[in-house]
Structure 1
Amino acid sequence: MLDAIGITNFKAFARQDLALAPFTLLTGLNSSGKSSVLQSLALLRQSFEAGLLDEVDDMGGLLLNGELVELGTGQDVRHDTYVRHEVNSPDDRNIVLSITTEGVPYEWRAEYGREDDLLRLLSRPVRPVSSTSYDLRSLFGRRFQYLKADRIVPAVSYPRSHEAAVRRGFLGARGEHTVNFLRAHQDDSVKAESLCLPEASSTTLLSQTDAWMQRLCPGVNLQAVGIDGTDTVRLSYGFGAGVSASNRYRPTNVGFGLTYALPIVIACLSARPDSLILLENPEAHLHPQGQTWLAYLAAAAVSAGAQVIMETHSDHVLNGLRLRVKQGKLRADSTAVHFFRRKGQSTEVVTPVIADDGTLSDWPTGFFDEWENSLDQLLD
């Protein structure tokens, strides 16, 4: 479980430390730094997978462009007004990322290079990192998922990669391996009681996926099958069951939001203890009721032992989290809410606290207050 993250001279942040909880919600206006938090974690993961986090000088670094994130070059990621530690210090432009997990801090300091897409590592933690390190396995182990805002869209077919979906258990940063993952693991049991809806026909991944997707679109069911002679798989939707069952429909002929939400549903249902799930805008293209139920699903994944860090613009997602706390489904001290807003060329963060009854300790200006602002004008 990650306890905190520190970011220096990276994108929206001159210097920022953030506490992380089992369920961390990041919200705020556009371009205020929310995605930068998720990208910094994905950048560490990406660099680790490339074998670049345990060596300094020319042998290690932060890999800016890869499978998870494509951030450009040093000039694209360094904060505009970088932190000055000392006058004329050569360290002024360094980009520093740190995490604290199980009370142990880890820090990586990389040299700024304007045109570089591999930022040379100047220092790393004393202890080497690995995917099996107890306190780092959520970030660097097998149970990691990062789903960006630009996820898969309805299509006729999707890639069939055994390496990604089966050996690594990875859905893809855009969720592109989700359909193949569902095909390969549809008969696996969802073991956590918190994740299983009682109306499902069984505890298999496919049955529970159908049940949760029906919270977004009543009556829907899914099929994921391989296409013979190709390296692709096909997803189809149906409605109803038995004699009242519909024909099967391509994703291109069904509501956009279903396919867009599917990777989120699969990521949460496949969560295990020590899983780390990074989610960008899970509410996109969904009706408000569906947005609330995705918050319920993420809370259920946290109850199953996962850690979820979610970026959202939805008050329905926030309220879904608050309701789960009030209902006793999630402990208040297992949540963290961070509200980001621009302040000059940098970003400041306000952290309202959720109480046991679901109320918030603070409601700063700009924090999900547009509905009330509009209502005041309508009633004026």
Structure 2
Amino acid sequence: MITKLSLEKFKCFDKKQDFQLSKLNLFTGLNGRGKSTVFQSLLLLSQSLIEKDNIEELFVNGNFIQLGLFEDIVFSLGENKNQIVKFYINTDEEYLQAIELGYKESSERIGKISYMKINEIDYFQTSTSIQHTEKTTGERRLSAYPKETINNFFKDYYFISADRLGPTLYEEKGNKYDFNPVGILGEHRLNVLAEDRATNNLLFDEDAGTLLEEVNKWLDYIMDGVSLEIQGVEKEISVLYLLLNNHQNKIKIKAVNSGYGYSYILSIIITALLAEKGNVVFIENPEAHLHPRAQARLTEMLCKLAMIGVQVFVETHSEHIINGTRLFYLKHKADFSYKDVSMYFFGEDFNVEKLEMDSDAQISNWPTGFFDQQEIDLAEILNLGLFK
């Protein structure tokens, strides 16, 4: 598990910005203040490892994220071409407790590694070759580093983008899986469900069944009496159809006629059930197109996912997600500590503040004017209505 992340000269963060991380990590605050940047830093490293099989070069445009050019991810690169983007990562892994990585722009305008430290060992050495003294003395080069250990640590990442696909009529069969079997946008969700594989992920109860069965348990719970079925699984059929069963009205409807909420949440549920202990899951705006009760119940799932050993990162603007997390802790104190949750608020001038939750689930430094907007609006309604 990643226990601490620090970013320096990466996108909006000029000076070193620290993030103390836990099992469940919630990032909230104003728009365009750096929440996505935290996600992108880790996804960028994972993407580079998967695409290049090493971390010696940053792969800024891939299946996870597309960030443009290297100069686009460096804080004020135009002012100083020698700026170095720095990533500091601490983990609870015995053989990978601390990682420091630095990248700078090369002559090819790509991000090349300029220094690497792992567990305080500097893997960039000054070359003093006698045969090539004039060319190599004083130059720094990367020596052998624990590549497999690094690769394994950044490999099992799942990412559900805020730009998820809405309702679709059907999906072509295939195995177009990339980093996330469901797809970054949820584009392969029906293919995954059609396989109806067994799952050992005990997020719902002690009797885990097939993936489709577990998805239906959570869908029924979160969305109040809804389940799904897949049609078109026979070999001769080339497309898959998703039907939603509304148990209250006893009707079946095609997913394309169901609204965005079902399609958006389906990708999250499937990904959560596929994730295993030690994996890392990133979810942008899980509350999208969900009513408050569904948001609260989805939060239970995310908390349970963190509780079984999957590290969860959530970007949200929903007070129902925040309060749902607090409530889950109070109900599950025996298995879930308030220290298992990290919350960060991103405010004006890119100021980042860690929200401090105590053992009573109280937050001592609740940001003024953000989650209390409802009370502010109600007070103004009363003033303009009753007391005019």
TM-score (norm 1): 0.84
Contact 1:98 1:106 in 2 (8 A): yes
Contact 1:224 1:233 in 2 (8 A): yes
Give the counterpart of 2:229 among 220, 223, 226: 223
In the alignment, structure 1 residue 95 sits paired with structure 2 residue 88: no
Which residue identity is paired with 2:295?
Answer: Q
The Cα of 1:214 is off from its aligned counterpart by 1.9
In the alignment, structure 1 residue 313 sits paired with structure 2 residue 323: no
The Cα of 1:202 is off from its aligned counterpart by 6.3
In the alignment, structure 1 residue 122 sits paired with structure 2 residue 114: yes
Which residue identity is paired with 1:335?
Answer: V
- Residues 5-20 of structure 1 aligned to structure 2 (within 5 Å): 5-15=5-15, 16-20=17-21
The residue aligned with 2:199 is: 189
- Is the deviation greater in 102-111 or in 29-38? 102-111
The Cα of 1:157 is off from its aligned counterpart by 2.1
Contact 1:291 1:317 in 2 (8 A): yes
- Residues 1-380 of structure 1 aligned to structure 2 (within 5 Å): 1-15=1-15, 16-51=17-52, 53-54=54-55, 60-80=56-76, 91=82, 93-102=83-92, 104-112=97-105, 116=109, 118-125=110-117, 126=123, 127-130=145-148, 133=149, 137=152, 139-141=154-156, 144-162=157-175, 164=177, 170-184=181-195, 186-192=196-202, 195-196=203-204, 203-225=209-231, 226=233, 228-229=235-236, 232-240=239-247, 245-247=250-252, 249-328=253-332, 330-343=336-349, 347-380=350-383
Which residue identity is paired with 2:9?
Answer: N
Which residue identity is paired with 1:301?
Answer: L
Contact 1:6 1:97 in 2 (8 A): yes
| 108 and 160 in structure 1: CA distance in 2 versus 1, 3 angstrom threshold | farther
Deviations, residues 52-78 of structure 1 (Å, cap 9, x unaligned): 534xxxxx3111101100111133222
| 81 and 319 in structure 1: CA distance in 2 versus 1, 3 angstrom threshold | farther
Q: In the comparison of the two structures, how many residue pairs are matched?
A: 350
Contact 1:197 1:211 in 2 (8 A): no
Residue segments in structure 1 that go unaligned for 5+ positions in a row: 55-59
| 137 and 331 in structure 1: CA distance in 2 versus 1, 3 angstrom threshold | farther
Contact 2:275 2:310 in 1 (8 A): yes
Deviations, residues 291-334 of structure 1 (Å, cap 9, x unaligned): 11111100011111111010000000001100011112521010
| 319 and 63 in structure 1: CA distance in 2 versus 1, 3 angstrom threshold | same
| 81 and 313 in structure 1: CA distance in 2 versus 1, 3 angstrom threshold | farther
Which residue identity is paired with 1:246?
Answer: I
The residue aligned with 1:57 is: none
Which residue identity is paired with 2:19?
Answer: L
Contact 1:189 1:203 in 2 (8 A): yes
SS in 1 for 2:272: helix
SS in 1 for 2:376: helix
- Is the deviation greater in 333-342 or in 174-183? 174-183
| 159 and 99 in structure 1: CA distance in 2 versus 1, 3 angstrom threshold | farther
Task: Provide the rounded CA distance (Å) in 1 between the counterparts of 2:170 and 2:115.
Answer: 44
SS in 2 for 1:378: helix
Contact 2:201 2:274 in 1 (8 A): no
Task: Provide the rounded CA distance (Å) in 1 between the counterparts of 2:89 and 2:173.
Answer: 34
Task: Provide the rounded CA distance (Å) in 2 between the counterparts of 1:282 and 1:113.
Answer: 38
Which residue identity is paired with 1:151?
Answer: R
| 140 and 102 in structure 1: CA distance in 2 versus 1, 3 angstrom threshold | same
Deviations, residues 136-174 of structure 1 (Å, cap 9, x unaligned): 745323xx2111100121112235443627xx7622221
Task: Provide the rounded CA distance (Å) in 2 between the counterparts of 1:163 and 1:96.
Answer: 33
Which residue identity is paired with 1:270?
Answer: L
Residue segments in structure 2 that go unaligned for 5+ positions in a row: 118-122, 124-144, 384-388
Contact 1:108 1:123 in 2 (8 A): yes
Task: Provide the rounded CA distance (Å) in 2 between the counterparts of 1:189 and 1:128.
Answer: 32
Contact 2:201 2:273 in 1 (8 A): no
The Cα of 1:340 is off from its aligned counterpart by 0.6
Moved over 6 A (4+): none
Question: Identity of paired residues, percent?
Answer: 29
| 155 and 107 in structure 1: CA distance in 2 versus 1, 3 angstrom threshold | same
Task: Provide the rounded CA distance (Å) in 2 between the counterparts of 1:363 and 1:114.
Answer: 46
The Cα of 1:231 is off from its aligned counterpart by 5.9
The Cα of 1:107 is off from its aligned counterpart by 2.1
TM-score (norm 2): 0.82
Task: Provide the rounded CA distance (Å) in 1 between the counterparts of 2:172 and 2:107.
Answer: 36
Deviations, residues 183-213 of structure 1 (Å, cap 9, x unaligned): 22x2413442xx1159xx9633222211211
| 232 and 71 in structure 1: CA distance in 2 versus 1, 3 angstrom threshold | farther
| 169 and 41 in structure 1: CA distance in 2 versus 1, 3 angstrom threshold | closer
SS in 2 for 1:71: coil
Contact 2:171 2:240 in 1 (8 A): yes
